[in-house]
């Protein structure tokens, strides 16, 4: 009789526990979503401000060059711009008959395939490396437009040793946030101005896989100054990038 009088609960205790746990998880998830939304809004504002600042900085750099050039011309002098700090290097020849030393230099430059391109910080050591590999590469000094177009159109990041397209600023922030680089505009600025975090920013970028140049090459085996394609072409690299991007 005592057993019969015992009331059976309407809902089993295990189900009640499960419901309670689910409700707690849902509340936490909603809180997290709201926090993420808030932080994204703050980041978006910060990115916009930084992009605005960079735009102003680039414009001032450009105007300063023009002003100094005009001032020099006015007094019958010549204005010599500062030496370039950044180079863009493209491998233009394949693997046939490459000497071990040149092969090693191309490996160090991360140019393992034909029509791969990389940014290089110019100093004494890197210039010597470029001279060794000169018959196999075309290089020069890229302008802001080239840097921006390459990163936006063909930019891939090295994330967990994988080649991932840079479709979101969050990908950049996750890998380079510790260096203060939180968006693609920060990455472009760091590369173009060769900032203090250039090495980590450049290593994050996967070597650019460019197309065969529209209109073809002139002569790969001859230096650019002799009417060919190899070697240093200074600011003329921008024309080649346009044809290959």
Model pTM above 0.85: no
pLDDT given for residue 37 in this prediction: 87
pLDDT of the residue at 5: 59
Alpha carbon 7 to chain centroid, angstroms: 69
pLDDT single digits (tens) 59-104: 999 999 999 999 999 999 988 888 899 999 999 998 888 999 999 9
For the chain, 245 residues long, the average pLDDT of each consecutive 10-residue run is: 61 89 92 86 89 94 93 91 92 90 95 95 95 95 95 94 92 91 94 94 95 92 92 93 93
């Amino acid at each position: 009789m005592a057993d019969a009088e015992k009331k059976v609960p309407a809902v089993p205790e295990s189900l009640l526990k499960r419901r309670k746990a689910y409700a707690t998880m849902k509340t936490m998830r909603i809180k997290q979503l709201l926090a993420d939304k808030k932080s994204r809004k703050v980041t978006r504002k910060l990115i916009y401000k930084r992009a605005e600042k960079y735009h102003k900085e680039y414009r001032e750099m450009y105007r300063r060059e023009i002003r100094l050039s005009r001032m020099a011309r006015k007094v019958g002098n010549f204005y010599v711009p500062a030496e370039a700090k950044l180079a863009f290097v493209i491998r233009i020849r394949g693997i046939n008959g490459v000497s071990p030393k040149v092969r090693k230099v191309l490996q160090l430059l991360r140019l393992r395939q034909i029509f791969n391109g990389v940014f290089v910080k110019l100093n004494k050591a890197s210039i010597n490396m470029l001279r060794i590999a000169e018959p196999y590469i075309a290089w020069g000094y890229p302008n802001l437009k080239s840097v921006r177009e390459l990163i936006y159109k063909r930019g891939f990041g090295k994330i967990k040793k994988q080649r991932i397209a840079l479709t979101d600023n969050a990908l950049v922030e996750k890998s380079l946030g510790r260096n203060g680089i939180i968006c693609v505009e920060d990455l472009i600025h760091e590369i173009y101005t060769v900032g203090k975090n250039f090495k980590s920013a450049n290593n994050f970028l996967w070597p650019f896989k460019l197309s065969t140049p529209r209109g073809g090459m002139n002569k790969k085996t001859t230096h650019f100054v002799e009417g060919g394609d190899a070697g240093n072409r200074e600011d003329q690299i921008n024309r080649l990038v346009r044809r290959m991007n």
